[in-house]
C-alpha cells in the first residue's frame, strides 16, 4: 500500500482527499520537488531544499511554509513506508479558499502533500529524442505545478517513440520537458546558462561540478539546435533518470557518429558515486 502525507497526516494514498477549491487544483497555483531516495539516502537533500525555498519565494508563499516541517514530513513518511529506495514527490499549493478568485486569499493555509513510491534507479542506454518548440511560460526556473505544456510535449515525444523532447526558443536550446540538456562537443561540455528559460536542475548543478573537477572544458552558453547533429553526444539529466545519453534525433538524424563517447561513461560513473555521498 502506498502511503502519503497530506498536511502532516500520514495515511493511504488512495484515501487522501483535498478540496476541489484547492488553488493547486483550480489554478495550478503551487510548486513541487521530486527527490530520489536510494539505499536509505535522500539524494542531494540540501539542494532540493534550497530550490524549493526559491520556488516558494518566487510565488510569494515562503512565509506561509516551513521547509523544515516539510522535510520532517518526508522523513516520517519514509519511516512509515519502510522504503529504503523511493521516488519522493512533494507539492505545496496556496491552499483552498471559499471562492474561486485569482487574487491571493487573505488567509492562506497551504496544502502540503508528500508521496513516496517504491522505485529504484535504472541506468538508461542510448536514447532518441524529438526537437520541439518550447511552448511553456516565461518563468521556467520556478518548479511550478502548472505543467500542461510539459504534459503535451512529453505526450508528443512518447508518441514519436522518443524519451523526451529537446525544446527551443527561436532556435536556441532551453532544456527538455522533464530534464536539463547538455552537448558534448570536441572535448567540451556545453549547456545553456541558468535563466528563467530553464529549471536550475540539481543534476545539472552536480554534473557541472563534476565535469569541472575532471578538467573538462565547461561552457554555459547558448546552443543552436542546428548544431545538435554535429555534436559528439547530447545528454539529458534529472534526479530520477540520472544522466541519459542521446544519440538520435527523430525522425532520422544521428548525433555525431551515433556512439556514446568514453567521457560520458566516466562522468556517469562518477555521478553515481558522488551523488550517494552528497548531503
Angle, vertex CA 235, rays to CA 229 and CA 236, nearest 5 = 125
Shortest Cβ 184–ligand PMP spacing (Å): 18
Burial 198-235 (b: 16+ CB within 10 A, else e): bbbbbbbbbbbebbeeeebebeeeebebeebeebbbbb
In this structure, what DSSP letter does residue 22 have?
B
Q: Which of 22, 43, 41 lies closest to 33 in space, CA to CA?
A: 43
Among 201, 242, 245, 256, interactor with ligand PMP by CB under 6 A:
201
Please work out the total of residues on this chain that contact ligand PMP, with binding judged by CB under 6 A: 13
- 8 Å CB contact between 188 and 219: yes
The yes-or-no answer on residue 143 being catalytic is yes
Q: Does 154 engage in binding with ligand PMP (CB under 6 A)?
A: no
Catalytic residue among 43, 143, 241, 248: 143
Residue 215 and residue 119: Cα distance in Å, rounded? 34
**C-alpha grid cell, residue 112:** 502540503
Shortest Cβ 237–ligand PMP spacing (Å): 6
Shortest Cβ 49–ligand PMP spacing (Å): 12
Among 55, 93, 111, 178, interactor with ligand PMP by CB under 6 A:
178
Residue 210 and residue 242: Cα distance in Å, rounded? 14
Question: Closer CB to ligand PMP, residue 22 or residue 175?
Answer: 175
Taking CB under 6 A as the binding criterion, the range among 63-71, 177-185, 251-259, 261-269 that sits at the site for ligand PMP is 177-185
What string marks each residue from 18 to 57 as x (binds ligand PMP by CB under 6 A) or -? ----------------x-----------------------
**What residue has cell string 519502510?**
82
Question: Closer CB to ligand PMP, residue 222 or residue 259?
Answer: 222
Residue 16 and residue 26: Cα distance in Å, rounded? 18
What residues have CB less than 8 Å from 255, skipping those under 6 apart?
228, 229, 231, 232, 233, 234, 246, 247, 248, 249
Question: Phi/psi at 199 (nearest 5 deg)?
Answer: -80, 135
Q: For residues 225-264, which are near ligand PMP according to CB under 6 A?
A: 237-239
Among 202, 211, 218, 225, interactor with ligand PMP by CB under 6 A:
202
What is the chain's length?
Answer: 279
Among 175, 190, 256, 275, interactor with ligand PMP by CB under 6 A:
175
Shortest Cβ 99–ligand PMP spacing (Å): 31
Residue 277 and residue 43: Cα distance in Å, rounded? 8
Among 199, 218, 235, 275, interactor with ligand PMP by CB under 6 A:
199
Question: Closer CB to ligand PMP, residue 179 or residue 268?
Answer: 179
Question: Closer CB to ligand PMP, residue 105 or residue 200?
Answer: 200
Among 185, 203, 247, 268, interactor with ligand PMP by CB under 6 A:
203
Question: Closer CB to ligand PMP, residue 97 or residue 115?
Answer: 115
Rule CB under 6 A: which residues touch ligand PMP? 34, 175, 178-180, 199, 201-204, 237-239
Residues forming the active site: 143
Amino acid at each position: 500500500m502506498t502511503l502519503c502525507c497530506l498536511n502532516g497526516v500520514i495515511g493511504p494514498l488512495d484515501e487522501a482527499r483535498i478540496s476541489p477549491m484547492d488553488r493547486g487544483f483550480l489554478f495550478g497555483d503551487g510548486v513541487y520537488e521530486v527527490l530520489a531516495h536510494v539505499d536509505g539516502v535522500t539524494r542531494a537533500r540540501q539542494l532540493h531544499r534550497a530550490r524549493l525555498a526559491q520556488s516558494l519565494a518566487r510565488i510569494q508563499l515562503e512565509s506561509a511554509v516551513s521547509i523544515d516541517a516539510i522535510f520532517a514530513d518526508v522523513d516520517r513518511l519514509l519511516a512509515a513506508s519502510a522504503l529504503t529506495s523511493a521516488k519522493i514527490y512533494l507539492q505545496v499549493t496556496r491552499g483552498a479558499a471559499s471562492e474561486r478568485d485569482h487574487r491571493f486569499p487573505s488567509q492562506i493555509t497551504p496544502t502540503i502533500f508528500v508521496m513516496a513510491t517504491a522505485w529504484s534507479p535504472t541506468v538508461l542506454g542510448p536514447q532518441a529524442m524529438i526537437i520541439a518548440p518550447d511552448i511553456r511560460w516565461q518563468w521556467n526556473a520556478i518548479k511550478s505545478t502548472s505543467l500542461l505544456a510539459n504534459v503535451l510535449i512529453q505526450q508528443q515525444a512518447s508518441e514519436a517513440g522518443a524519451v523526451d523532447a529537446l525544446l527551443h526558443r527561436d532556435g536556441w536550446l532551453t532544456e527538455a520537458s522533464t530534464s536539463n540538456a547538455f552537448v558534448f562537443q570536441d572535448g567540451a561540455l556545453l549547456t545553456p546558462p541558468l535563466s528563467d528559460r530553464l529549471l536550475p536542475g540539481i543534476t545539472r548543478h552536480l554534473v557541472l561540478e563534476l565535469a569541472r573537477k575532471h578538467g573538462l572544458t565547461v561552457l554555459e552558453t547558448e546552443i543552436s539546435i542546428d548544431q545538435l547533429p554535429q555534436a559528439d553526444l547530447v545528454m539529458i539529466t534529472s534526479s530520477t533518470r540520472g544522466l541519459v545519453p542521446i544519440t538520435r534525433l527523430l525522425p532520422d538524424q544521428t548525433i555525431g557518429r551515433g556512439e556514446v563517447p568514453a567521457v560520458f561513461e566516466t562522468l556517469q560513473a562518477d555521478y553515481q558515486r558522488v551523488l550517494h555521498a552528497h548531503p
